[in-house]
Amino acid sequence: MFEEDYKRRFVFGCDFGTSDYKYGPISLGERPRSVENRGYFPERSVVAEILGGVREVVVGNEVAQFLGSGQDLSARLVYPMRDGIIGAGDERSWRVVRELLSKSLTEFKPGGLGFKGFYVVASLSAVAPLYMYEKFFSFLDEKAEEGLVRSSTLIPQPLAVAIAHKQTSCVVVESGHGNTQVAPISRAPIRGAVVALNRGGSEANMITAEIMKDTGYGDLAKEEKVVRSVKERLGLLPLDLDRAVSFGRSNREAVRGVYQVEGTRIRIDLGDHSWSRFLIGEIVFNPGHEVFQSYYKRGMPRPSDVRVGDTVFYGMMDMAETVISSVEKCPVELQPLLYSQIILSGGNFNWSAPSHLKSVACDSQTKLLHMMREKGIENVKVVLSPEPQFAVWRGCIVYGYALPEGYEWSWERMEGWLHHWR
């Protein structure tokens, strides 16, 4: 009984998203801490050695302090989870993940003699291969030697979302910065029916950068943080793109997009091109719309099919077709039940419509429902997870709280606690 009480006090969730790493113990309540899932490998210098600041890799909020002008950021800045999969030999990405895990656990280590390590629940992509599970467990075992981890378990991100929503049969669509996973769940993910897209928030960033170039902000379009902020502040998701663009061209002031970059004198005004705000949300759901062809011809990368290990990430398949393709890989008897509970999760679904534009703009669940009905799927229910960027972390916490301490890890079932105490 002591162990169960201890576990409930010290469950720790880790969500390794493609853009952000969300983490923290159960005591945080509804919202975790969040930092960008990236690491910076600074150049070694004599000055740094003299000042005692030599670091192999920098993670978390400190990264911004190392981003000097003129440096080759593409060579030194590493985003380990761009595809949700880290190559077995990608040592720098593994170094970043290891450092993020260590830093986050240390940040919350309580004082006192009663602490014996956290019960860590870490979430990975639904398409993560077996060696990623083995690698994460090895990192957690290292942290156990430092007194930070008592037991640990790993869980697919879509299953964590289903647990957070208390659903045993559903379809989870988890969309982050680098990719989108569609996972049917019937008490556990139906792995043979998971469909992955090589598309996420990064595509919305790319079209945002192109729009900024077209409106005279080419220099700012090179700065990823600025582009992401413009996307989040000015991006709109249209119910029907053709109608929204027509409305935007005819009602320029109604859709005018202006953003003041916080802490600076920089003011971004899309002016007469403000109709293009609707493209930012649309490319996430349907990059094949003809309006994007001119951008592809001008050099913006077209989302392409890629193979990562045994998994194919599709580039141009629209969101509704992806869900239908996934569900149709499941038994026919189960399909109506799956369509009746589609859960959208991840920051890439965090779209909203200003009140004066509700006739042409919408949220993510309304958009997907509209697309599904256009394809003849009528009895559909789509829900958006509250604060979708945190749904996976909440599911990790609920899972860790509910999973009995005596249920030991099984590689056959891929569930249970791996105990690290010696």
> pLDDT tens across 148-186, in order?
999 999 999 999 999 999 998 999 999 887 789 999 999
Describe the strand order of the beta sheet including 33-36 as a list of residue ranges.
Answer: 33-36, 20-25, 11-16, 118-124, 149-156, 418-419
Mean pLDDT of 289-297: 95
Cβ(51)–Cβ(418) below 8 Å: no
**What are the structural domains, with CATH classification, of the chain?**
2-165+389-419 (3.30.420.40), 200-302 (3.30.420.570)
Structure tokens at 44: 């070694």
pLDDT of 188 reads 83
Is the model's pLDDT at 55 over the cut of 60?
A: yes
Task: Among 238-242, 377-381, 418-422, name the most confident range.
Answer: 238-242
Indicate left, alpha or beta for 280 from its phi (over 0: left) and psi (-120 to 50: alpha). alpha
1 pLDDT band, cuts 50/70/90, is low
Name the percent of the chain lying above pLDDT 70.
Answer: 94
Rounded Cα distance, 240 and 219, in Å: 32
pLDDT of 224 reads 85
Name the percent of the chain lying above pLDDT 90.
Answer: 68
Residues in the chain, total: 422
Cβ(179)–Cβ(83) below 8 Å: yes
Phi, psi angles (nearest 5°) of residue 181: -115, 130
Output the pTM of the full model: 0.85
Instruction: Report the SS3 class of residue 293.
Output: helix
Mean pLDDT of 220-247: 94
Q: Residue 144, class by beta-carbon neighbours within 10 Å (0-12 exposed, 13-18 middle, 19+ buried)?
A: buried
DSSP 389: G
First CA to last CA across the chain, in angstroms?
A: 20
Q: Higher model confidence: residue 245 or residue 422?
A: 245
Is the model's pLDDT at 41 over the cut of 60?
A: yes
